[in-house]
């Protein structure tokens, strides 16, 4: 049974399109996505809505899904995501190799952290499977795999002790920030671009906000005046970004991660801006439905089929980068790339729904 058009699917569809566009850097349309006016970007939105969608699996408070069934489904979903990540990583590696051969340019073999795959394959393939080696722009799904792996614990804690879920999540987040704890990569020295110890908070916030009790219920009851607070936060931080009025990160007190702006640790300022943005987005949705219902229908379809759309979008954005390099950028090429890409994403979503109807 296909879900009705709703705000969550709509915004998730928007996030998918924005991620696709942003992952073709320097293309004309990249300058139009909301990351240009906002501290946070589509990655936060995507993870938050993933957490929100967890409520569909957990079930209603008056009719919860049986715990064994819940655990089975969530672990199953995590495995599906893991397999999807392996598939698109393999495709990306093949595309980079093909580009290097066809365009006679070995730089492609080193692009987006692929060098280890081609020059240190023994260890890099182990790293790929362990998710400790990630290709650039292919690092959201590994985070999502981790989040869905912890999702059963999130769901269980919420079921039996709902009031401690958010405090636990905030505590992990703060400990990670205060002590700079992160997840290392291997075999290439480094750290996960999306630190799961911090990004789990956005996922848990998404889940908590989706509920009618606890923090989610409080936010829903007070959303009107919360939006009055959110608006100046979003506008003020956008203006600060626009005019580059940020404070010097070396001048802030310790622990510095609490005061600086960073994506890897989704630092508090970025997190607060994102939550404020979410409050405003939730207000905008009813108006968007009235003004452009066809757009809502279109993006909701993408959002309903987020995994295949995300996977195809990731591969197409890499293809877009290669094509851009081979043929040069410019408005015409960028329009063709982005336009054909979005049409392809739409086809993928349509095919996924057509298949599920047939089944």
Least distance to another protein from the beta carbon of 131, Å? Answer: 16
Output 222-230 pairs: Cβ under 8 A, ≥24 positions apart. Answer: 223/279, 223/282, 226/279, 227/279, 227/280, 227/283, 229/276, 230/275, 230/276, 230/277, 230/279, 230/280
> To the nearest whole angstrom, how small is the minimum distance from the Cβ of residue 180 to another protein?
7
Site string for another protein, 190-229 (x = CB under 8 A): xx-x------------------------------------
Provide, rounded to whole angstroms, the least separation between the CB of residue 359 and another protein: 38
Could you say which residues in the range 263-322 bind another protein, by CB under 8 A? 321
Please return the burial class of 225, using the count of CB atoms within 10 Å of its CB with bins 0-12, 13-18 and 19+: exposed
Site for another protein in 312-351 (CB under 8 A): 321, 324-325, 328-329
CB of 43 to another protein, least distance (A): 13
Nearer to another protein, 137 or 207 (CB): 137
Give the DSSP H/E element, type plus range, for residue 59. strand 59-60
Beta bridge partners of 59: 64
Bond preceding residue 38 cis, omega within 30 of 0: no
CB of 179 to another protein, least distance (A): 12
Per-residue x/- track, 108-147, another protein (CB under 8 A): xxxxxxxxx--xx--x------------xx----------
Secondary structure letter of residue 247 according to DSSP:
P
Rg (alpha carbons) of the chain, rounded to whole number: 21
DSSP state of 208: H
**Whether the Cβ atoms of residue 210 and residue 52 lie closer than 8 Å to each other:** yes
Least distance in Å: CB of 203 to another protein?
A: 22
Q: H/E element holding 321? A: helix 306-327
- Phi first, then psi, for residue 44 (nearest 5°) are -60, -45
The answer to whether the CB of 194 falls within 8 A of the CB of 264 is: yes
Nearer to another protein (CB atom), residue 35 or residue 158: 35
Nearest CB to another protein, comparing residues 305 and 321: 321
Per CB under 8 A, does 26 bind another protein? yes
> How many residues in the shown chain lie near another protein by CB under 8 A?
43
Burial call 156-169: b when 16+ CB within 10 Å, e when fewer? bbbbeebeebbeeb
Q: Which residue has the tokens 């079921």?
A: 159
Which listed residue (2, 4, 104, 167) binds another protein by CB under 8 A? 104
Decide whether 267 or 282 has the Cβ nearer to another protein: 267
User: Distance between CA 269 and CA 275 in Å, rounded?
Assistant: 10
Among 34, 215, 256, 288, binds another protein (CB under 8 A): 256
Q: What angle do CA 20, 26, 32 make, to 5 degrees?
A: 65
User: Which residue lies nearer to another protein by CB, 25 or 293?
Assistant: 25
Whichever of 223 and 326 has its CB closer to another protein, that residue is 326
Task: Report the nearest approach of another protein to the CB of residue 118 (Å).
Answer: 9
Options 57-65, 82-90, 258-266, 347-355: segment touching another protein (CB under 8 A): 258-266
**120 versus 353: smaller Cβ distance to another protein:** 120
216 token code pair: 């989610």
Q: And the tokens for 44?
A: 């936060």
Of the candidates 62, 63, 189, 359, which one interacts with another protein according to CB under 8 A? Answer: 189
Closer residue to another protein (CB): 119 or 218? 119
Q: Can you give the binding site for another protein, defined by CB under 8 A?
A: 25-26, 101, 103-116, 119-120, 123, 136-137, 180, 187-191, 193, 248-250, 252, 256-257, 260-262, 321, 324-325, 328-329
């Amino acid at each position: 049974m296909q879900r009705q058009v709703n705000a969550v699917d709509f915004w998730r569809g928007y996030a998918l399109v924005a991620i696709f566009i942003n992952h073709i850097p320097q293309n004309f349309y990249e300058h139009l996505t909301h990351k240009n006016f906002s501290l946070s970007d589509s990655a936060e939105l995507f993870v938050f809505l993933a957490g929100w969608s967890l409520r569909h699996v957990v079930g209603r408070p008056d009719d919860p899904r049986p715990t064994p069934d819940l655990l089975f489904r969530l672990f199953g979903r995590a495995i599906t995501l893991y397999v999807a990540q392996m598939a698109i990583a393999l495709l990306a590696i093949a595309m980079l190799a093909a580009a290097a051969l066809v365009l006679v340019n070995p730089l492609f073999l080193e692009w987006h952290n692929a060098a280890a795959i081609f020059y240190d394959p023994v260890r890099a393939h182990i790293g790929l499977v362990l998710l400790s080696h990630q290709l650039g722009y292919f690092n959201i799904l590994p985070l999502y795999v981790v989040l869905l792996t912890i999702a059963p614990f999130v769901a269980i804690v919420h079921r039996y002790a709902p009031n401690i879920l958010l405090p636990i999540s905030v505590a992990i987040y703060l400990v990670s920030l205060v002590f700079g704890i992160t997840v290392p990569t291997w075999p290439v020295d480094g750290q996960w671009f999306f630190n799961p110890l911090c990004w789990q908070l956005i996922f848990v916030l998404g889940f908590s906000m989706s509920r009618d009790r606890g923090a989610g219920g409080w936010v829903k009851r007070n959303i009107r005046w919360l939006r009055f607070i959110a608006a100046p936060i979003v506008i003020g931080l956008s203006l600060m970004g626009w005019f580059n009025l940020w404070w010097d990160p070396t001048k802030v007190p310790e622990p510095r991660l609490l005061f600086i702006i960073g994506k890897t640790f989704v630092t508090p300022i970025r997190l607060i801006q994102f939550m404020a943005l979410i409050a405003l987005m939730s207000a905008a949705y009813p108006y968007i439905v009235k003004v452009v219902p066809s757009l809502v229908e279109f993006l909701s379809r993408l959002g309903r089929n987020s995994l295949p759309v995300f996977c195809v979008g990731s591969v197409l954005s890499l293809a877009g980068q290669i094509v851009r390099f081979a043929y040069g950028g410019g408005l015409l090429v960028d329009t063709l790339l982005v336009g054909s890409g979005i049409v392809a994403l739409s086809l993928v979503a349509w095919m996924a729904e057509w298949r599920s109807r047939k089944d």
